[in-house]
A = this chain, B = another copy of it.
Amino acid sequence: MSEGGDAAPAMSPFLAACRCEPAAHTPVWIMRQAGRYLPEYRKIRSEVDFLTLTKTPDLAVEVTLQPVRRFGMDAAILFSDIMTPVEGMGVPLDFAPGPVIETPIRSVEQVDALRIPDPEEGVPFVLETVRLLGEELPDSAPLIGFAGAPFTLFCYLVQGGGSKTFSEAKAFLFAEPEASRKLLEKLADTMVRYLEAQALAGAKALMIFDSWVGLLGPEQYREFAFPAVRRMIEGLDHLDVPLIYFPNQGSTLLGTVRDCGADVVGIDWRLPLADARKTLGPEIAVQGNLDPTALFAPRDELARQIDRVLADAGPAPGHIFNLGHGIERTTDPDAVAFLVDHVHEVSQRG
């Protein structure tokens, strides 16, 4: 390493924490930080719909930057939707406002007919957004690219849209285990190409959202969802970017999650980070896990809740502060500013 004027810049707190290395302070960002709780986001959305926003690089860049500018977040996350890359597989898709799949996948023939698309052809606007963000973002706020985990995408494709229970999708696992496995593998391979392309376009970390995996018991997780996400992570292993896996509501799955190969595991607010650390071991960083509704508490109570999360994470490196789920639309942006400042202040090191 050289010294003096042209010293390599120190690794950002976010990237250091991803690698379980000491950071100047505990880094913080917030799931759905670019979104409706921000007036500057709502202003843009009053002019264009959600889909247009995700498909227009200049606008997607702008809303990605908004929370970084306003709060000094330690990471930015690509503004997009987990279903965006699925359309290119040959699945016509609508948003109303949740994803609607006209012809749900319910047979092995439909699975066989799905393509594994080239992201540069299928979703050039996403990669263009990532490239532009590489120019715009400060080194202190690296860009997180993301994709849905195979099981979560499976849920939408088989169910045909959003659902509280995704019972059709889960029933398909039980009734058609072979077709299910095939579909999960195809989704894994598609997402590998998609995330690879994001990394090549400049994303500094990659996150895999398994939003619906909490619907599975441990056995079905081990049998279906886990092999697919591990396949995905193995396919991304050659890239030199940290991988974050978020098994939402997956408290009872964590003993298996440990072996998925991710550098960081996101934890929802139901499991204290100390318990998560105990299960995951010292080599895996944790991300989370303030209850998003704590942002509605008076400031002193909010501070107490933040301090509890930091205490649960413990003094060892490898903690990225975040909410345990996406921020609520009715959240006061000033509460978010307080959160970011408070985390930075109390976690300042040396």
Q: How far in angstroms is the closest Cβ of chain B from A23?
A: 25
Q: Let me know if B296 and A171 touch, CB within 8 A.
A: yes
Interface string of A171-186 (1 = CB under 8 A from B): 1011101000000000
Residues of B close to A272: CB separation below 8 A: 217-218, 252
Please tell me which stretch of A1-9, A63-71, A235-243, A287-295 contacts chain B, meaning at least 4 of its Cβ atoms lie within 8 angstroms of it: A287-295
Given A214-B270, A308-B219, are A174 and B293 also a contact pair (CB < 8 Å)?
yes
Q: How far in angstroms is the closest Cβ of chain B from A327?
A: 10
Residues of B close to A171: CB separation below 8 A: 293, 296, 328
Q: Let me know if A291 and B220 touch, CB within 8 A.
A: yes
**Is A167 part of the contact surface with B, judged by Cβ < 8 Å?**
yes
**Is A301 part of the contact surface with B, judged by Cβ < 8 Å?**
yes
**Is A204 part of the contact surface with B, judged by Cβ < 8 Å?**
no
Q: Let me know if B219 and A175 touch, CB within 8 A.
A: no
Q: How far in angstroms is the closest Cβ of chain B from A250?
A: 9
Q: Let me know if B217 and A270 touch, CB within 8 A.
A: yes
> Count of A residues near B, CB < 8 Å?
37
A177-227, CB < 8 A from B: 177, 214, 216-220
Contact of A297 among B175, B294, B302 (CB under 8 A): B175
Copies of this protein in the assembly total 2
Given A217-B269, A301-B174, are A167 and B293 also a contact pair (CB < 8 Å)?
yes
Closest partner residue, chain B, to A177 (CB atom): B301
Q: For the complex, what is the distance from the CA of A327 to the CA of B330, rounded to whole Å?
A: 34
Q: How far in angstroms is the closest Cβ of chain B from A315?
A: 20
Q: For the complex, what is the distance from the CA of A271 to the CA of B275, rounded to whole Å?
A: 16
Q: How far in angstroms is the closest Cβ of chain B from A176?
A: 10
Q: For the complex, what is the distance from the CA of A293 to the CA of B173, rounded to whole Å?
A: 9
Q: For the complex, what is the distance from the CA of A272 to the CA of B219, rounded to whole Å?
A: 9
**Is A251 part of the contact surface with B, judged by Cβ < 8 Å?**
yes
Contact of A217 among B175, B219, B291 (CB under 8 A): B291
Q: For the complex, what is the distance from the CA of A170 to the CA of B296, rounded to whole Å?
A: 9
**Is A164 part of the contact surface with B, judged by Cβ < 8 Å?**
yes
Q: For the complex, what is the distance from the CA of A25 to the CA of B47, rounded to whole Å?
A: 65
**Is A281 part of the contact surface with B, judged by Cβ < 8 Å?**
no
A287-337, CB < 8 A from B: 291-294, 296-298, 301-302, 305, 308, 324, 328, 330
Interface string of A242-281 (1 = CB under 8 A from B): 0000000101100000000000000001111001000000
Q: List 9 A-B contacts (CB under 8 A).
A: A167-B292, A170-B291, A174-B302, A175-B296, A175-B297, A214-B270, A217-B291, A219-B308, A252-B272
- Having A165-B328, A175-B297, A217-B291, one finds 19 other A-B pairs with CB under 8 Å, namely A164-B164, A167-B292, A167-B328, A167-B330, A170-B291, A171-B293, A173-B293, A174-B296, A174-B297, A174-B302, A174-B305, A175-B296, A175-B298, A177-B301, A217-B324, A218-B270, A218-B272, A251-B270, A252-B270
Q: Which residues of A contact B (CB under 8 A)?
A: 164-165, 167, 170-171, 173-175, 177, 214, 216-220, 249, 251-252, 269-272, 275, 291-294, 296-298, 301-302, 305, 308, 324, 328, 330
